[in-house]
């Protein structure tokens, strides 16, 4: 994920959606008007929180902006809020802005990788000592990486293949135990092609059969790489997944390509 795309999208990433439903009051019943409750938060508090979300999505803290740099960013936001034109010509300053933000991203990634590498080294050293831990070497573009796993519950029947569609319940955490995603918490399993996800999943889930449960200890090379998925998954993060395989099936066959019709109208959906 390039920071510049995040930066450009940050101010478009927010919305507040409020849905209010009310039951119709029977006409035959007289009701006493109820005074509206006083707002719990003031307008300045709401706007301050909105500003916090904008800064969070822009990565002001993670990218290590100084107070002076943050003040310059705020100055630009204030100028934009008045409807003023950009302070500098975008076609001229754009390339330099991209370089600046990419350098910030690279510095952030390098620092996070150093931090993640240290945490992962200790984590895997401890994992190797656990009883029942197995390992699997997987080839990647940057070289071999080792996936560690343990079978928590044996299933039955055949094992899935990378070409199958699997239905699973799972919980994903960082090495410090922070939960970043969980179908269990959402209360709804997920179904997807096993070959279309991170390699740690593709390789690991093939080690259990239907009804089985596995715990995967996935190095970043088999997960989301050096970039991670900030802010949820930091760069170079080792991930831990507890996965229950509920079912699997063959992927649907791709539809046969139809012969082109004579004078067929051009597509209008951009596909």
Predicted confidence (pLDDT) per residue in 40-51, tens digit:
999 989 988 988
Task: Say which CATH number the domain at 234 has.
Answer: 3.10.50.40
Residue among 7, 108, 170, 220 flagged as catalytic: 170
Amino acid 108: pLDDT: 85
For residue 221, give its domain range.
125-250
Is 33 part of a structural domain of the chain? no
Please check whether residue 161 lies inside any domain of the structure: yes
Q: Is 198 an active-site residue? A: yes
**For residue 162, is it within any domain?**
yes
Mean pLDDT confidence for 97-120:
89
Catalytic choice (124, 224, 233, 248):
224
**Annotated catalytic residue: which of 77, 133, 151, 181?**
181
Confidence band (pLDDT; 50, 70, 90) for 32?
low
Is 155's pLDDT higher than 60? yes
More confident residue, 260 or 52: 52
- Per-residue pLDDT, 38: 84
Say which of 65, 98, 180, 247 is annotated catalytic: 180
Question: Is the pLDDT assigned to residue 191 strictly greater than 60?
Answer: yes
Total number of domains constituting the chain: 1
In a domain, 180, yes or no: yes
Q: What is the pLDDT of residue 247?
A: 97
Q: Is 192 a catalytic residue?
A: no
The answer on pLDDT for 31 being more than 70 is: no
pLDDT bracket for residue 167 (50, 70, 90): very high
pLDDT at residue 20 above 80? Answer: no
SS (H, E, C) the chain: CCHHHHHHHHHHCCCCCCCCCCCCCCCCCCCCCCCCCCCCCCHHHHHHHHHHHHHHHHCCCCCCCCHHHHHHHHHHHHHHHCCCCCCCCHHHHHHHHHHHHHHHHHHHHHHHHHHHHHHHHHHHHHHCCCCCCEEEEEEECCEEEEEEEEEEECCECCCCCCCEEEEEEEEEEECCCCEEEEHHHHCCCEEEEHHHCCHHHHHHHCCCCECCEEEEEECHHHCCCCCCECCCECCCCCEEEEEEEEEEEECCCCCCCCCCCCCCCCCCCCC
261 assigned to some structural domain: no
181 part of the active site: yes
Residue 44 belongs to a domain? no
For the whole model, what pTM was predicted? 0.66
Q: Considering the candidates 149, 220, 241, 248, report the single residue annotated as catalytic.
A: 241
Residue 106 lies in a domain: no
Percent residues over pLDDT 70 in the chain: 80
Write down the catalytic residue from 198, 208, 218, 233: 198
Any idea which of 102-106, 230-234, 244-248 has the lowest mean pLDDT? 230-234
The reply to whether 138 falls in a domain is yes
Is 224 assigned a catalytic role? yes
Q: pLDDT tens digits for 117-153?
A: 898 999 999 999 999 999 999 999 889 999 999 999 9
């Amino acid at each position: 994920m390039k920071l510049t795309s995040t930066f450009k999208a940050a101010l478009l990433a927010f919305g507040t959606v409020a849905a209010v439903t009310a039951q119709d009051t029977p006409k035959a019943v007289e009701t006493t008007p109820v005074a509206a409750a006083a707002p719990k938060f003031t307008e300045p508090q709401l706007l301050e929180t909105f500003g916090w979300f904008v800064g969070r999505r822009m990565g002001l803290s993670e990218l290590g902006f100084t107070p002076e740099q943050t003040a310059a960013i705020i100055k630009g936001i204030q100028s934009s809020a008045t409807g003023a034109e950009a302070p500098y010509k975008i076609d001229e300053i754009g390339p330099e802005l991209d370089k600046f933000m990419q350098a910030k991203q690279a510095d952030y990634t390098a620092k996070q990788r150093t931090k993640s590498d240290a945490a992962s080294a200790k984590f895997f050293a401890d994992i190797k000592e656990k009883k029942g831990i197995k390992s699997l070497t997987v080839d990647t573009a940057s070289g071999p990486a080792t996936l560690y796993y343990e079978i928590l519950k044996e299933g039955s029947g055949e094992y899935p293949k990378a070409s199958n569609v699997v239905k699973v319940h799972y919980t994903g955490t960082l090495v410090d135990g922070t939960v970043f995603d969980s179908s269990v918490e959402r209360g709804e399993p997920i179904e997807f092609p096993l070959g279309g996800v991170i390699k740690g999943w593709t390789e690991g889930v093939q080690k259990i059969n239907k009804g089985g449960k596995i715990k995967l200890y996935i190095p970043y090379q088999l997960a989301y790489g050096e970039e991670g998925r900030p802010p949820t998954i930091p760069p170079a993060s080792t991930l831990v997944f507890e996965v229950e395989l509920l079912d699997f099936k063959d992927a649907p066959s791709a539809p046969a390509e139809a012969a082109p019709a004579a004078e067929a109208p051009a597509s209008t959906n951009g596909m």
